[in-house]
Amino acid sequence: MAVFSRTISALVLLLVVFSSCEAKEILVGGKADAWKIPSSQSDSLNQWAESTRFRIGDSLVWKYDSGKDSVLQVNKEGYVSCNISNPIEEYKDGNTKVKLSRSGPFYFISGTKGNCEKGQKVVVVVLSPRSRYTGISPAPAPAPVEFEGGPAVAPTSSATKLQSGLLVALGIFVLGLF
């Protein structure tokens, strides 16, 4: 019975580790009626996008009235100028899903003439695979200090050591079950 309990515990732990890595479907703006002209700057979709972490493999989902609006994926210039005439992709189905297939910025604007100029647009930045969001803003770089003597020792990452240590401990735990 104790072996069964430990096996279940190990499986739950593995599911938690792997579920944090799986792709997600993310509703744009966090709600079904978010794809619209914002009522104020604080209602901007870019405010929402800046506070949300996107990873390769995630999908953005838009819900909107397909008879009145659409979603255009554009390049940076198209985003800045609100140019609806030459999109990378055009979506009109009212339930649009776009898979984020690479790191970097993705630019989206409304396909309804005039809506982009009124703020109906969003930039989504996808983290690179090696990025880790810690919830802490990076500290500013310290002022350069000149040292005399030999070369500097290369910095090491304690996070990598910790992650490796946890994986080794998990492996030993799982192997101890058998």
Amino acid at 176: G
Give residue 144's pLDDT. 43
Q: Please write the tens of the pLDDT for every residue from 28-52.
A: 999 999 999 999 877 789 999 999 9
pLDDT band per the 50, 70, 90 thresholds, residue 115: very high
Give residue 143's pLDDT. 42
Give residue 125's pLDDT. 97
CA distance 167 to 18: 12
Amino acid at 7: T
pLDDT band per the 50, 70, 90 thresholds, residue 23: confident
Confidence (pTM): 0.63
User: Which of 3-7, 33-37, 45-49, 126-130 shows the lowest per-residue confidence on average (mean pLDDT)?
Assistant: 3-7
Domain 22-127 matching CATH 2.40.50.100: the answer reads no
Q: Which residue in 38, 24, 93, 108 sits closest to 63, CA to CA? A: 93
Residue ranges per structural domain of the chain = 22-127
User: Which of 106-110, 123-127, 152-156 shows the lowest per-residue confidence on average (mean pLDDT)?
Assistant: 152-156
Q: Which residue in 174, 159, 138, 178 sits closest to 13, CA to CA? A: 174
| Phi and psi torsions of 109, nearest 5° | -135, 160
Instruction: Compute, in degrees rounded to 10, the torsion defined by CA atoms 45, 49, 52, 58.
Output: 110
Q: Please write the tens of the pLDDT for every residue from 73-96.
A: 999 999 999 999 999 999 999 999
H or E segment and range at residue 166: helix 158-176
Q: Please write the tens of the pLDDT for every residue from 135-176.
A: 544 444 444 434 344 444 444 444 444 444 444 444 455 456
Q: Which two tokens stand for residue 75?
A: 């390049």
Residue with the bigger pLDDT between 41 and 132: it is: 41
CA distance 117 to 157: 45
Give residue 176's pLDDT. 61
H or E segment and range at residue 9: helix 2-19
Residues in the chain: 178
> At how many degrees (to 10) do helices 2-19 and 158-176 cross?
150
CA distance 163 to 149: 34
